[in-house]
Chains A and B, each alone.
Chain A
Amino acid sequence: MSASEAAVLSLHNEDEYRGQTLGQLALLRLRRDHLTLIAIGVILLLTVLALLAPVISDTLDVNYRRTDLRNTFAKIGSPGHPLGTDDLGRDHLSRLLYGARVSLGIGFSAALVSLIVGTTVGVVAGFYQGSRLGFIDDLIMWFVITLNSVPSLFLLLIISAMLSPTVFTLILILALLSWTSTMRFVRGETLSHRGREYIVAAHAIGASTPRIMFLHILPNIFSVLAINLASDIGGFILVESALSFLNLGVRPPTPSWGNMLINAQTFYTMGVHLVIMPGLMIVITVLCLFLIGDGVRDAFDPQASKKIA
């Protein structure tokens, strides 16, 4: 029996947990899930560090944009530069911190926008499926299937190359090309909710269609969606870093963990830390986000965790 199963079983045995809501139970389970708690701690720490990037840079008297060609490729632990300097002599620590702002910010915003778009389209498509206005669903599904058949990295590359995006447009591009899985899920859920009594009742008292869609159906499926948010953010950070690495995402000199690796292959002999550190930051961040995603999912659905364990 694994630790998580033990936690689940003990939950059912102890009286103090009786009469708790699903959310309260999930919170209790989360509190016992040390791995998820550590992951949450790491992400919080990274967020705080990213927010404090200007303060930290000022305290250390470094600047992420100030080049110093007499002091390039400084090693980790050099005086004045705790994590060394890059090929232009810019402080590596402050660049990593500012990169965290960009990467985390893009990941979070893109996940949010894609969630909103996917949910809205999904509810509308699911609601009209098979009805008098069923062509709306057919059209949307046709578009979604088409979009899914083109490897998204190709579309991302082409659109980014054409638009030379700013951080803001990059978020929109990322989100608008990846809302389809959310949409499919929401559509399925809406289909199953559509015929239930409370919706029939809402129809009967004359509630308008948008009201039924967004005030009745949506709140009932939103909790299931929010659970995926953490893993979605992780996924977006991965895509953004790949795009920035290919020099088509966040453009230098704005640092992002991906674009700090653009010339990595030329750093092999000069500064290995420039190859390792940004990648390690991505791995740690995305790993923690995935772990949080898994932990939260298990906390809300103990049955699922039993099956997997």
Chain B
Amino acid sequence: MTQFILRRLIQAIPTLFGITVLTYAIIVAAPGDPVSTLTFGPRTTKAQRVALAAQLGTNDPVYKQYIRWLIGNDWQKFPKVDGRGNPVLDSNGEQIVERGTKKGILRGDFGTSFVTKRPALELIIEKFPATAELGSLSLLVGILLGVSIGVLAAVQRGGVFDNLTRVMAVIFSAVPVFWLGLTLLLIFGSWLGWLPMGGRYPTNYFLTGEVSLADRIEHLILPVAVLSTGWIAILSRFMRASTLDVLSQDYVRTAQAKGLAYRQIWFVHAARNALIPIATILGPAIPGIIGGALITETIFSWPGVGRTTYSAVLTQDYPVIMCAVIIVSLTTIVGYLLSDILYALIDPRIRLS
């Protein structure tokens, strides 16, 4: 097992490398350059721009800049210049030489946000709990409902419940996430007024700093409902097919012959084995769900990673965008890995090679 996990971790290295190359390529291709962003002023002379470009290293070949982005430049020494690009001299009249300040993304330095001037990683990590809360609850609701619906549909194969859930699953796969959110807000927020129109905490939280559990649940219901429909649709279909496979096996017939209660046969004997293939679709479903989370967070003003990324995209805040893409991709890779490990754990027949 340890060997299997180690091998999978090693396999992830080229993918991680690819992600950094892809992200960096996008930023290189982006219009505008940091020098003109930093020297946005009528007084800056061309000579100062040239000096600043030399200091920032934007004249270096792209691969050098990429490596510096990865591992930083605090091992290099640079002649010191001020914000306008003029050399800074010490008392002897010689230019001061100092080390670079970038640590590189491998040591967690993604640069500072152009907008808030705070470290990009800090901005993203700060939003992570909100997204994790929304995502894990949706996954939980999705698995509970999806699995039960799938088992019941398989048991009553061809019955009213089965056909109804089948139709629902097809319809929900065709509903855009954003429109589902808009419609639910319209019905439960605007018309009925039962649930808040968005946000994670009620407005008075920002005055009093207090929030009750009921308030938090109220704010969670709609976004979780929107996000979990995707899981429910996928899982119920998958669980149904997988339960049907299991129900036709001998050991289930034996359990019936022993006179066990049907509920016990379905949900304990059959569901247990039918759950095994579910582990394989959890990993590949993650990227889609993260995309859905971005849209859901935007609609419901949920202060998470997705909404932060979206506003960073709108303001072209590249350090934050790059940090978000890498963190999200990292989450995806870990998700794939966990899904594989889970699969190997619950099904001893899987060969680990």
Contact = CB atoms under 8 A, between A and B. Distances in A.
A149 B333 contact: yes
Contacts of B18: 142-143, 145-146, 149
Nearest to B30: A162
Main secondary structure of the interface of A (DSSP, over half): helix
Contacts of A150: 19, 22, 287, 325, 328-329, 332
A154 B291 contact: yes
B321 interface: yes
B275 interface: no
Given A149-B332, A154-B294, A261-B178, A159 B22 contact: no
A276 B31 contact: no
B167 to A, nearest CB: 10
A279 B316 contact: no
Contacts of B29: 162
B31 A154 contact: no
B19 A162 contact: no
Contact of A242 (B170, B295, B321, B329): B295
A145 B284 CA distance: 11
B86 interface: no
A111 interface: no
A152 B289 CA distance: 11
Interface string B302-331: 000000011001101000010011001100
Choose among B21, B29, B182, B183 the residue with the greatest number of A CB atoms under 10 Å from its CB: B182
Interface in A211-242: 234, 238, 241-242
B185 interface: yes
Nearest to B197: A265
Interface stretch (A76-84, A85-93, A94-102, A280-288): A280-288
Contacts of B14: 142, 145-146
A269 interface: yes
A151 interface: yes
A177 B171 CA distance: 25
Given A151-B287, A268-B190, A283 B179 contact: yes
Given A146-B19, A152-B291, A275-B186, A245 B178 contact: yes
A43 B179 CA distance: 21
A157 interface: yes
B151 interface: no
Interface in A258-277: 258, 261, 264-265, 268-269, 272, 275-276
Contacts of B164: none
Contacts of B22: 146-147, 150, 155
B171 A283 contact: yes
Contact of A158 (B170, B179, B325, B332): B325
Given A162-B29, A265-B185, A272-B186, A145 B325 contact: no
Contacts of B265: none
Contacts of B316: 161-162
B47 interface: no
Given A162-B29, A238-B176, A154 B171 contact: no
B176 A158 contact: no
A2 B329 CA distance: 43
Nearest to B289: A151
Contacts of B178: 241-242, 245-246, 261
Interface in B278-301: 286-288, 290-291, 294-295, 298-299
Given A145-B18, A161-B316, A246-B298, 16 more contacts: A142-B18, A146-B19, A149-B333, A150-B328, A154-B309, A157-B313, A158-B26, A234-B174, A242-B176, A242-B291, A261-B178, A276-B183, A279-B183, A286-B176, A291-B170, A294-B170
Interface of A: 2, 142-143, 145-155, 157-159, 161-162, 234, 238, 241-242, 245-248, 258, 261, 264-265, 268-269, 272, 275-276, 278-279, 282-283, 286-287, 290-291, 294, 307-309
Which 5 pairs show the lowest CB-CB distances between chains A and B? A146-B18, A153-B291, A279-B179, A287-B174, A286-B174
24 contacts: A142-B14, A145-B15, A146-B15, A146-B22, A149-B15, A149-B19, A151-B290, A151-B291, A153-B290, A154-B291, A154-B328, A157-B309, A157-B310, A158-B313, A158-B321, A161-B316, A242-B176, A245-B295, A246-B295, A258-B176, A261-B182, A272-B186, A275-B182, A279-B182
